[in-house]
């Protein structure tokens, strides 16, 4: 018998990806699968690719039913996650994929979200210094946001090494449409998306901005200021983030031959199963990460402009959401960290 897990919010894209990964996991047993509006519908009505779950239906999202599992994945809206979490018994482990428990500062929460601040859980980005020990010891973990995962992993080692300045960080990231969720919206229909890219939530108002600043600051002992601009790309999956920061004075001077930013990343992530620093001259592509729980990174120093450039690619539904949640669950449950997760992507 495996560890019994429940998925709340299983009708959405991240929830469906959780079902796919749990179905192939050697140590997890799928328990309650819940939804709100889709309760009573067949799982394969919304996720026809999950043929192994034929005959299974979505149940209503009731805390008592979720509590029959050993661990609950919550792929819900923030206000719903906070309400459900408050009703689960202390003995049930919980991983929340929403933003409900990511932010420490109630002021940041009030500036970017509605409703009361629910508090903060352990932040579940395993590749950050000391994070694995905190995750293993926790019963409640907040999974990072998809954009935040890419930007934080791209920049944290460079800030920690003093190669980049935290005072002037710019991140521009393009995401596939699945990042916007499953709820129909006029701006997400195929007629509007095909052949077009567009920016949204410009000017420092995207909800992942305070999360990125908080995690980078805590991991590197700095006070970062991040200008983050998201783009909507005409593809279902993937994130490509281009992150730049001003080079520290010595590194910006070609005569001093400062540290190679790629070498700094390679050293920081040596041995990490789910972060790949690409060979020199090779740049990340979203296609190479599809289906895998891996972030691809590459970096270069633009000494003419005095900036370091890091490009990160990931599958927003895997390492950016469901895959990372399973990685967290493996750590919490004492299982091999990579159980049920693919390093390789799917191509073409």
The burial of 309, by beta-carbon neighbours within 10 Å (0-12 exposed, 13-18 middle, 19 or more buried), is given as: middle
Which residue's structure tokens are 């700095």? Answer: 222
Q: Are 7 and 36 in contact (CB under 8 A)?
A: no
Question: CB count, 10 Å around CB of 102?
Answer: 25
Q: How many CA atoms lie within 13 A of 85 on its CB side?
A: 27
Active site residues: 146
Residues listed for the chain: 348
The CB-based long-range contact list for 193-202 (8 Å cut-off, 24+ gap) reads 193/232, 193/234, 194/234, 195/234, 196/234, 197/231, 197/232, 197/233, 197/234, 198/231, 198/232, 199/229, 199/230, 199/231, 199/232, 200/230, 200/231, 200/232, 201/230, 202/229
Q: Are 245 and 168 in contact (CB under 8 A)?
A: yes
Q: Are 101 and 79 in contact (CB under 8 A)?
A: no
The token duo for 44 is 């394969």
Which residue's structure tokens are 């040596």? Answer: 270
Sheet hosting strand 275-277, strand order edge to edge: 198-199, 226-232, 164-175, 239-247, 307-314, 295-302, 275-277
Question: CB count, 10 Å around CB of 263?
Answer: 14
Q: In 3-state terms, what secondary structure has residue 118?
A: coil
């Amino acid at each position: 018998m495996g560890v019994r897990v429940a998925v709340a919010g299983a009708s959405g894209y991240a929830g469906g990806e959780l079902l796919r990964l749990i179905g192939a996991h050697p140590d997890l047993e799928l328990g309650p699968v819940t939804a709100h509006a889709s309760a009573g519908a067949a799982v394969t009505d919304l996720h026809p690719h999950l043929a192994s779950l034929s005959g299974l239906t979505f149940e209503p999202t009731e805390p008592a039913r979720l509590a029959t599992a050993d661990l609950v994945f919550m792929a819900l809206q923030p206000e719903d996650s906070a309400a459900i979490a408050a009703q689960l018994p202390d003995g049930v482990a919980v991983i929340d994929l929403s933003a409900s428990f990511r932010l420490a500062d109630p002021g940041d929460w009030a500036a970017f979200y509605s409703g009361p601040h629910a508090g903060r859980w352990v932040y579940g980005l395993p590749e950050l210094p000391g994070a694995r020990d905190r995750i293993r010891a926790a019963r409640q973990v907040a999974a990072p946001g998809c954009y935040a995962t890419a930007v934080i992993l791209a920049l944290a080692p460079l800030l920690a090494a003093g190669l980049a300045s935290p005072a002037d960080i710019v991140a521009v990231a393009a995401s596939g449409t699945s990042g916007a969720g499953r709820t129909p919206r006029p701006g997400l229909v195929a007629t509007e998306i095909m052949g077009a890219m567009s920016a949204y939530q410009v000017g420092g108002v995207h909800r992942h901005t305070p999360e990125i600043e908080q995690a980078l600051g805590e991991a590197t002992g700095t006070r970062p200021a991040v200008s983050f601009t998201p783009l909507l790309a005409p593809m279902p999956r993937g994130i490509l983030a281009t992150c730049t920061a001003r080079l520290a004075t010595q590194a910006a001077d070609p005569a001093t031959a400062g540290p190679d930013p790629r070498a700094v990343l390679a050293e920081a992530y040596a041995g990490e199963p789910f972060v790949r620093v690409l060979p020199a001259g090779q740049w990340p592509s979203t296609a190479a990460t599809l289906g895998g729980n891996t972030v691809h990174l590459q970096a270069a120093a633009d000494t003419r402009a005095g900036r370091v450039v890091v490009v990160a690619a990931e599958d927003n539904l895997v390492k950016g959401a469901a895959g990372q949640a399973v990685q967290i669950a493996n750590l919490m449950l004492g299982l091999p960290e990579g159980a049920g997760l693919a390093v390789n992507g799917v191509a073409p």
